Structure 1
Amino acid sequence: MEAKQAQAAAKSGNATLDYWRKHYFLYILIAPALILTLVFKYGPMYGAVIAFKDFSPIKGIMGSDWVGLYNFEKFLSSPNFDVIFMNTLKLSFFGLILGFPIPILLALMLNQIRHTGAKKNIQLFLYAPNFISVVVVVGMLFIFLSPTGPINHLITLITGEPVMFMSRPEYFRGIYILSDIWTGAGWASIIYVAALANVDPELHHAANLDGANLLQRIRHIDLPTIRPIMAIVFILAAGGIMSIGFEKAYLMQTAMNLPTSEIIPTYVYKIGLQSGDYAYSAAVGLFNSVINVLLLITVNFIVKRLNEGDGLY
């Protein structure tokens, strides 16, 4: 009995050794990505503990006094909480609802173009805005939407007076979302275009013979093909609904549009880096991250129930 166990252990050890000999290069390839993830994603999690402390740079993270949930209570009870939280939620929610279908529509339209040269040129035109710097995009917005810009020039010819787009709070969300769609929709459609390229042309040919029109072919052939990708992209987008980069919102802010442009990322930047209240800003950022995780889990659960199991896990 002991001899058989020893033989089995020896075989298992040899199999493991053979496996590493055959596949070691794959682990070497993935090692840099794993190291970068550990250093820049998991390593900084240690600093999140300052959200529960009265942090002092002199005392350090571990030497600072423990205050528990005080910083979170301070944020939740602050007079700005409702405005900042709702601004963040509205900007993300409307951006998701309006921006999610556009890449899908672009991919479906690109898939109908049969001329290879024309298709490449159109794709280049659609993808190009993604490579424009955020600073440049915001600069373009200020130029085009300024009181003396080309858009207001046309408005003045019709109404007699310009519209202060960048100073009026009610215009901020629309400008932010539409400019986001312009810069990102073409690039976001790549994954759908790649998926549609794998559709068997014989399916469309057979559907044509059966008398199916264009919309019917899209509904019964193209959309089922990209449905799993749509589910995953939607889950990831909904899970990051509170994660808006502060750069664009901060650059677009003016003293007049703050009632709608002040969001959690810009608030964290101002409190943490400009005011030096690191513990409070860390608490606000951690609160934002917890909301994102809860949204990710909830949306993934709902999508899996409604979409026959298609989800992240």
Structure 2
Amino acid sequence: MKALINDYGNSIKLTRKKKLIYNFKRDAPLYLLLLLPMTYLIIFRYAPIYGVVMAFQDYNIFEGISGSEWVGWDVFKFIFDQNGFYRALKNTLVLNVLDLIAGFPAPIILAILLNELRHVRFKKIAQTVLYLPHFLSWVIIGGMVYLMFSSAGMANTVLTSLGFAHIEFLSQKINWLIMYVAIGVWQNVGWGTIIYLAAIIGINKELYEASDIDGCSRLRKMWHITLPGIKPTIIILLILQIGRMLSIGFDRPFVMGNSLVSEYSDVISTYVYRIGIGSGDFSQATAVGLFQSVIGLIFLLTANYIAKKVGEQGIW
């Protein structure tokens, strides 16, 4: 009996092995295409993880990682005693929360409105115009913002010519916050709209046909069909956005910030740039980056866990 069971198990293993070889030969071109992105991930994403050990060293650029002195958690203790770190952390959270509040619903609303347009040509032109800013560098956008909204910019020239008061868009703190969030929404809303439009296309058209028979208005169809249809996409993107609450790009706050609003514009990315590149303290810069990544992972896992608990579809 044992011999029969062993023979049966061996035959299953041989069958699986033959199936694996067959699948590999059949999909060999796809595996070759996959080789390039996998190589990129290994070289530029996974291999640099070794450099995380600098966060636990008194790193010396001349000695390298292998020759630098190991100091354990001393670098983190030093960072957590710095007021500048807590200011950068607070500003990062504040700016990301404002981006979440203003920027996350914007592409959803815009995608639903574009989906309701009946003029196909105008719809295509509007989509192109809306997502074009996504491909502009923040350096270019920063120059445009300065020309438009600086003290001697076009906006203030128009305001003063109409008899209104001069407004400091980029040097007063509250005005700068409004401009930062508004420009961010303008730059990203078109790209997010594409994602939600793709999700809307996947909704069953028979639902809209049935609602037309029942006499539903366009507003009720948007509320009861379109929004529930893209709800899984909204949840997944919201989880990912929450996971990036401590991650903030360097170029946007650096380009739009200035010394007059540094109390708000100094974020973790600019802080890391200042202490890592400016001061040459790579241990501190690595430690801050590691802290940022760990807290971001905790946010991501927590958001995904809450989504699953309330009955929504998570990332996994």
Look up the match of 2:145: 141
Picking from 118, 128, 144, the partner of 2:122 is 118
- C-alpha separation between the residues in 2 aligned to 1:87 and 1:278? 22
Q: 1:65 and 2:58 equivalent? A: no
Q: Distance in 2 between matches of 1:160 and 1:191?
A: 40
Mapped pair 1:312 → 2:315: yes
2:247–2:292 contact (8 Å) kept in structure 1: yes
- Tell me which residue corresponds to 1:206: 210
CA distance in structure 2 between the partners assigned to 1:262 and 1:201 by the alignment: 48
Check if 1:228 corresponds to 2:227.
no
Within 5 Å, give how 1:150-229 maps onto structure 2: 150-157=154-161, 161-229=165-233
- How far is the alpha carbon of 1:115 from its aligned partner? 2.0
Confirm or deny that 1:255 pairs with 2:259: yes
Shift of 1:254: 1.4
Letter in 1 for 2:221: R
Q: How far apart are residue 15 of structure 1 and its match?
A: 2.5
**Structure 2: runs of 5 or more not aligned:** none
Contact 2:232–2:312 under 8 Å retained in 1: no
CA distance in 2, matches of 1:131, 1:11: 50
Matched, 1:45 2:49: yes
Using the TM superposition, give the Cα deviation of residue 259 of structure 1 relative to its aligned residue in structure 2, in angstroms.
0.8
- Measure the CA separation in 2 of the matches of 1:88 and 1:69: 24
**CA contact under 8 A between 2:275 and 2:281: conserved in structure 1?**
yes
Task: Report percent identity of matched pairs.
Answer: 35
Unaligned runs of 5+ in 1: none
Q: Which amino acid aligns with 1:31?
A: L
Normalising by structure 1, we get a TM-score of 0.94
Q: In structure 1, what is the Cα distance between the partners aligned to 2:266 and 2:26? A: 54
- Is 1:297 aligned to residue 305 of structure 2? no
Q: Contact 1:169/1:261 (CA < 8 Å) preserved in 2?
A: no
Q: What's the C-alpha RMSD, in Å, of the aligned pairs?
A: 1.7
Which residue in 2 is equivalent to 1:271?
A: 275
Distance 1:6 1:241, change over 3 A: closer
Q: How many angstroms does 1:4 deviate by?
A: 4.7
CA distance in 2, matches of 1:195, 1:234: 15
1:6 Cα deviation (Å)? 4.6
| CA–CA distance in structure 2, aligned partners of residues 285 and 6 of structure 1 | 50
Q: Distance in 1 between matches of 2:10 and 2:54?
A: 52
Q: Could you tell me whether the CA contact under 8 Å between 1:170 and 1:260 is conserved in 2?
A: no
Q: Deviations over 1:249-286 (max 9, x none)?
A: 11122121111110110010111011101111111111
What is the alpha-carbon distance in structure 2 between the residues aligned to residue 17 and residue 200 of structure 1? Answer: 39
TM-superposed deviation, 1:158: 6.0
Alignment match, 1:26: 30
Once the two structures are TM-superposed, the CA of residue 147 in structure 1 deviates from its matched residue by: 1.5
The verdict on how the C-alpha distance between 1:228 and 1:58 changes in structure 2, with shifts beyond 3 A counting, is same
Using the alignment, how far apart are the partners of 1:23 and 1:160 within structure 2?
A: 67
Letter of the structure 1 residue corresponding to residue 203 of structure 2 = V
Is residue 85–residue 271 contact of structure 2 (8 Å, CA) maintained in 1? Answer: no
Q: How does 1:276-291 map to 2 (within 5 A)?
A: 276-291=280-295
